[in-house]
Structure 1
Amino acid sequence: MPETTLRAADSDRATVAEVLGTAMKDGRLTVEEYDERLAAAYAARTHADLAVLTADLPVPRAAAAPAGGPTYGSCGGGDLRNAWRGYATVALVVWAVYLMSSLAGGFGYPWPVWVVGPWGAVLLARTLGTRGALARR
């Protein structure tokens, strides 16, 4: 069975979400593109569905694919620290935009929770999972 027809796991979707978040932080994706791709990542059923979401994005050197299969990014050790920095930067920018627009036109629906909420939840789960794996070693 080809690797691309294999069903994707939640961890695969979370890894793609991290790659997309990094791409947005680096300016490779707009917030709208990020939102669309993130929704598609969580709706993905196969590895092929996930691969298409990151096909036009560069793969970090540390996450280069081993000879055996697809790679959607890496988030171990120092990468977690960078992922949290990127998250914090994007969260600050998004909330600043919300506050500025709210001051000008009145406070409305707090839409930034839909940008930083899912990303933060995935990043927190990944961090706790990585720390748990390191503690078991």
Structure 2
Amino acid sequence: MAQSPEMRASDADRDRVAQVLRENFAEGRLTSEEFDERLERLYQSKTYGELAVLTNDLPATDLRLYRERAETPAKRAQKSRKRAQTLSAMWVPWAMASGINWVIWVLVSMSSDGPVYPWPLWVMGPWGVVLLVITLATGLGSGDSRRSSP
């Protein structure tokens, strides 16, 4: 079905035009002021005709090519591997440092006359809490929870 200039545009249509404007700005076809002005007008636009005015002096662009690309299973698997690597890069040093500190604490405890304060808790506690907050806040530990729904 052909789109008439009077037909109302969707948010996805505006997002595609914004992407076109960003690309043309990056290529130097628009000044910073023009880009800002067009973006402002873009998000006030209601129809396809108003959207077309924003890009009519730019090289011809087929907005259908700017549809959101669906994530392929390979991309999802790659993101999942990257999440696992990020988690590993964060938590492995913490676990190693904590383990080393506990070994030192055990050796000191065995060679002392009385009980020794469990100081490794002060090393692993704050660091672990920060890592936990980062993991939960960024959704790193949740597998594909950030994946967009189809």
Q: In which range does the TM-score fall when normalised by the shorter chain?
A: 0.3 to 0.5
With normalisation by structure 1, the TM-score equals: 0.46
The structure with more radius of gyration? 2
Structure scoring higher RCO (CA < 8 A, sep ≥ 6) equals 1
